[in-house]
Structure 1
Amino acid sequence: SASGAAEGGAPTAPTAPVTSAPPGTPSAPASQAPGDELPPPGDPGDVLTLGDTGPEVTDLQQRLLRIPNVYQGGQVNGQYDQALAEAVSRFQVWYGIRGDANGVYGTATRRDLESRT
């Protein structure tokens, strides 16, 4: 009975998890990390939200200023602040944009805003 337990349980249990876990685990973070850092500004895959900063935010601010009454008097400073989040939300509501969270500049909002500006 001792040899049966060792034969049946020991080889199967360690082999499956050890073989399947290492290839899957490193490849997922490795492929995600460079993707988050490498896209150029304006890449359609980028999502901007409260607290973000940089040239993509500046571009968003400039585009929203071209839409009447959406970001009236808004600053172009590269900072995704509360006023910018409210302007993005206003734009989403006024133009019926669906697919992005309220106040978040995601793919659907970007596509619509870029088509108008």
Structure 2
Amino acid sequence: MHKWIFPIVILIACIGVFGALLYMLGRASKVPEKRAGNESREYAGYVRLVVLVDNNPYKEGLETAWGLAVYVETHETKLLFDTGPDPSVLERNAEKLGIDLSKIDFIVISHPHGDHTGGLEL
């Protein structure tokens, strides 16, 4: 395999992730921002990021695993960025953090390695 293929795959994955986040922000409710004078702007309500699976615990009491899963939420959309290596770790950590995985609108996979896709077995 050519040594330049892996960086290109990672670049494409990153573009996809940022595209999904921009899409979510665009769908988020617009909230007027009050400013001095007659000037006003709109901004997306919020974005919440929660690390569900990582080799370093996000919060005490969570299970660790070699991989990554991040829950991303806006006012109208919920997504899972990668799923970690193990569906049971993903499910238990989500439950401990009060996140209902059945409410996920879509999943974004950064690249096809087991430490990022193993939780898809749910």
TM-score range, shorter chain: under 0.3
TM-score by length of 1: 0.25
Task: Give the TM-score, by structure 2 length.
Answer: 0.24
Structure 1 or 2, whichever has the larger Rg, is 1
